[in-house]
Copies of this chain bind each other. A is one copy, B any other.
Amino acid sequence: MQEMITIFQDYLQQNGLRLTSQRELIARTFFQNRGHISTEEIYRQVRKIAPGIGFATTYRTMKLLAESGLASLRRFGEGFSRYEPAGTAEHHDHLICTKCGKIIEFENDRIEALQKSVARRHGFHVTDHKLEVYGLCRKCRQ
Tell me the A residues contacting B by CB distance below 8 Å.
Answer: 75, 77, 95, 97-98, 104, 106, 108, 110-111, 114-115, 118-119, 122-138, 141
Contacts of A97 in B (CB 8 A): 124
Give how many copies assemble into the complex: 2
> Within the assembled complex, what's the spacing in Å between the Cα atoms of A39 and B5?
43
B126 touches A134 (CB 8 A): yes
A118 touches B130 (CB 8 A): no
Residue A138 contacts which of B106, B123, B135 (CB distance < 8 angstroms)?
Answer: B123
A137 touches B123 (CB 8 A): yes
A136 touches B127 (CB 8 A): yes
A133 touches B138 (CB 8 A): no
B130 touches A132 (CB 8 A): yes
Residue A114 contacts which of B98, B111, B123, B136 (CB distance < 8 angstroms)?
Answer: B111
Q: Would you list the 8 A-B pairs with minimal beta carbon distance, nearest first?
A: A123-B138, A126-B135, A128-B134, A129-B133, A124-B135, A125-B136, A127-B135, A130-B132
Shortest Cβ gap from A36 to chain B (Å): 16
> Within the assembled complex, what's the spacing in Å between the Cα atoms of A125 and B77?
19
Contacts of A128 in B (CB 8 A): 98, 133-135
Contacts of A114 in B (CB 8 A): 108, 110-111, 114
